[in-house]
Amino acid sequence: MKLYSLQLNYRLQDRPRRGGVILKARVALVAAISGFSMTPAAALEWSLDFAPDAPAKIVWQTDPDMAYNLWFSETLSDPFVHVDGFPKDGNGEALEQTFDPGKKGFFRIDTAPLGFALIPEGRFEMGDSYNEGGDTESPVHTVFVSAFYMATNEVTVALWNEVKTWGWANGYRDLPNGSGKGDDHAVHSISWWDAMKWCNARSEMEGRSPCYFLDTNKTDVYRVKFPKVQHEKVDWTADGYRLPTEAEWEKAARGGLRGKRFQWGDTISHDQANYYSDGVYEYDVSPTSGFHPDSDDSKAPFTLPVGSFPANDYGLYDMAGSVWEWCWDAYDRDYYAVSPEVDPRGPLKVWRSRVMRGGAWTRTTFEIRCSFRRRGWTQGDDDILGESTWGEWRDLNDHGLRVVRGR
């Protein structure tokens, strides 16, 4: 008789399109029998197989609209470690995972809507543990981030234009056409303002509640121009789409790893990301130099289709290289020294610049580290005062986005 424990995170139902309550449950089971099965509220059916001479097996029934990620911990005091081969999309049939005979510990199944990954709540060390990035990436500090869903891929040209077309017919009259190499490539040349408008448009297109408003009562939805959008005009509890906070982005990018330069470890090569390898840094071990060989036609480098490289342990693709990803937070190089410990959302003051993360296909190894922070310009001074003028533009050609949504 072996002693096993199983911890399951599951959802009884998804949030309705408008409002509603998310029902969540956790089940912890200690089993010392040769087999066990259970159906909690007909939401998730799973079973354990403890045949004495065979690998232990966990089996669960899937929902075709959900994705599943599997984690393992020998003790609850140890961090959960990602199980290779996950996440996997549900198909309405059973998924299973076998473990070596005698494997003991705690298993966790995380679920998320298709196209998204669950980033679990918890603390992580935010900042540059190697002291390579200077003052803007220090001090390293502990941050607690609440659970949320993040899109597994950056917004593509096809998805951007689909929402843009809907938006033009529904009040989002100044959303621009999406730029990019192809429909399945990350959209780029996107301003911070347009990224927020697009998030609202997608939310309304799908019947979800938008996140960004023009008033503190959160009744006047932000759809056009460049208004003064501040913390108190964001509905952080809405079920619609929004930009990640900087803390959400870095926690997600690290994929559960602690103190590493990249989501997979401390070195990088063209096998892992689309970036410019200049050989300056010893942790750039790419056998090919310059732009990625698959994205350089000797005329101009370009993006690659989203998902061209392995995902991190949360199931997120292209968190290094590809395109810069806008975050919600205003950029302040000294913010880490005063950052709140729980769900920080950046300085309260409205700045001319916002945080960007992840690097881009034209950027070097140094700039695509998990802790690197870039200042991304929105527009000029006038828009900070609420005027609908363009003002000062900075280079946007490698600026894209990835969305998140609440649970």
In terms of residue numbers, what domain contains 133? 115-407
Instruction: Output the tens digit of pLDDT for each of the chain's 407 residues.
Output: 222 334 443 332 333 333 222 222 233 332 322 232 333 333 455 555 555 666 677 888 889 999 999 988 887 777 888 899 999 999 888 888 887 776 777 888 888 999 999 999 999 999 999 999 989 999 999 999 999 999 999 999 999 999 999 999 999 999 999 999 999 999 999 999 999 999 999 999 999 999 999 999 999 999 998 877 788 999 999 999 999 999 999 999 999 999 999 999 999 999 999 999 998 999 999 999 999 999 988 788 999 999 999 999 999 999 999 999 999 999 999 999 999 999 999 998 766 789 999 999 999 999 999 999 999 987 543 333 333 333 333 456 899 999 999 87
- The span from the CA of 199 to the CA of 172, in Å, is 11
Look at the chain and report how many structural domains it folds into: 2
Residue 235: what pLDDT? 97
Residues 377 and 252 reside in one and the same domain: yes
- The span from the CA of 247 to the CA of 253, in Å, is 10
Residues 70 and 192 reside in one and the same domain: no
Residue with tokens 């869903």, as numbered in its chain = 149
Residues 190 and 270 reside in one and the same domain: yes
Which among 95, 114, 133 is the end of a domain?
Answer: 114
Residue 108: what pLDDT? 85
Residue 5: what pLDDT? 36
Single-letter amino acid, residue 290: G
Which domain CATH number covers 110? Answer: 2.60.40
Which among 114, 129, 161 is the end of a domain?
Answer: 114
Which domain CATH number covers 184? Answer: 3.90.1580.10
- The span from the CA of 176 to the CA of 179, in Å, is 9
Residues 207 and 340 reside in one and the same domain: yes
Which among 84, 114, 144 is the end of a domain?
Answer: 114
Residue 351: what pLDDT? 67
Residues 45 and 128 reside in one and the same domain: no
Residues 227 and 248 reside in one and the same domain: yes
Predicted TM-score of the model (pTM): 0.85
Residues 264 and 361 reside in one and the same domain: yes
